[in-house]
């Protein structure tokens, strides 16, 4: 299984919206509604932001939203804030009982 | 407080073995699947292995299959990773992570430890 494909970087100004893509195949992203997104600040453990494509865990602001079309999932951050600057990773179930693949990560910069 | 605490990392020579442990507290451990995820210095996240709530389902990344073994002891609220035939490319911070469900396939990890560092070098 290959890693999912994410753009290495993304940026936006405070208050703007930014969308990060995550491209896989029909064997992972496209085949199941089990895409998750994580936020990681430097030196910190990752934090779950979105699961099952578009669900938000308790405590995650509704500025974060997820979607999927075909083999590509997307994370949209609306109303960008300075604290949103972090690395973002997508992941997907990839079949075969228990098998998970991550994307390479996207560094989000708030200008 | 919901918490995962990893231990067992360190410096090890190539070809040697190491066993990581993860102690869970603050939630019903045997209701949830658990996973190991690693992050090499300056690199991205890589899923390593996962185990369902009852150890009935287990999965490994291709990069560690045949060398690493995941296990859990629900009576001790603990998760383990036995790492054999270690290679330089296994050098990473190893995180223990709790799944949101019991079977492990959803791949959504809502609780993470702070990680334990494994360095493979001669």
DSSP assignment of B98-113: EESSSSS-S--EEEE-
Question: What rounded mean pLDDT belongs to chain A?
Answer: 96
As a whole number, mean pLDDT of residues A64-78 equals 98
Handedness of CA B57, B63, B65, B69 (dihedral sign): negative
Provide the 8-state DSSP code for A89. Answer: E
From chain A, pick out residues whose CB is under 8 angstroms from the CB of B107: 34, 36, 91-93, 100
Residue A77 pLDDT more than 90? yes
Rounded mean pLDDT, B58-85:
97
Coil/strand/helix, residue A48: strand
Instruction: Using CB atoms, pick whichever of A40, A89, A100 lies closest to residue B50.
Output: A100
Q: Which residues are within 8 A (CB) of B102 and not within 5 positions of it... i.e. 6 or more apart?
A: B31, B32, B33, B52, B53, B54
* B85 neighbors B97 (Cβ within 8 angstroms): no
> Residue B21 in contact with residue B70, Cβ under 8 Å?
no
A83-105 pLDDT, tens digit each: 999 999 999 999 877 889 999 99
H or E segment at B34? strand B34-39
Model pLDDT, residue B109: 97
Residue B107 confidence class, pLDDT cut points 50, 70, 90: confident
Mean pLDDT, residues A3-21 taken together: 97
* Least Cα separation, residue B61 to chain A (angstroms): 7
Residues A75-80 have a mean pLDDT of 98
Residue B116 belongs to what H/E stretch? strand B116-120
- With tokens 């507290």, the residue in question is B25
């Amino acid at each position: 299984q290959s890693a999912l494909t994410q753009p290495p970087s993304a940026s936006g100004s405070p208050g703007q919206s930014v969308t990060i893509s995550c491209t896989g195949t029909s064997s992972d992203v496209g085949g199941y509604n089990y895409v998750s997104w994580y936020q990681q600040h430097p030196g910190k453990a990752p934090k779950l932001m979105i699961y099952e494509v578009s669900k938000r865990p308790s405590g995650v602001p509704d500025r974060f939203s997820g979607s999927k079309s075909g083999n590509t999932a997307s994370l949209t951050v609306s109303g960008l804030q300075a604290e949103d600057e972090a690395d973002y990773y997508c992941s997907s179930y990839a079949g075969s009982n228990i098998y998970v693949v991550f994307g390479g990560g996207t560094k989000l910069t708030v200008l | 407080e919901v918490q995962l605490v990893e231990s067992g990392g360190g410096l090890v020579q190539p070809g040697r073995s190491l066993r990581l442990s993860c102690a869970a507290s603050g939630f019903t451990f045997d209701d949830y699947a658990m996973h190991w995820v690693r992050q090499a210095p300056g690199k991205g996240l890589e899923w390593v292995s996962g185990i369902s709530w009852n150890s009935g389902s287990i999965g490994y990344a291709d990069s560690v299959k045949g060398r690493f073994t995941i296990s859990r002891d629900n009576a001790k609220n603990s998760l383990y990773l036995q790492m054999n035939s270690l290679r330089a490319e296994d050098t990473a911070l190893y995180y223990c992570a709790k799944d949101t469900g019991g079977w492990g396939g959803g791949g959504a990890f809502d609780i993470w430890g702070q990680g334990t560092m494994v360095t493979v070098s001669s």
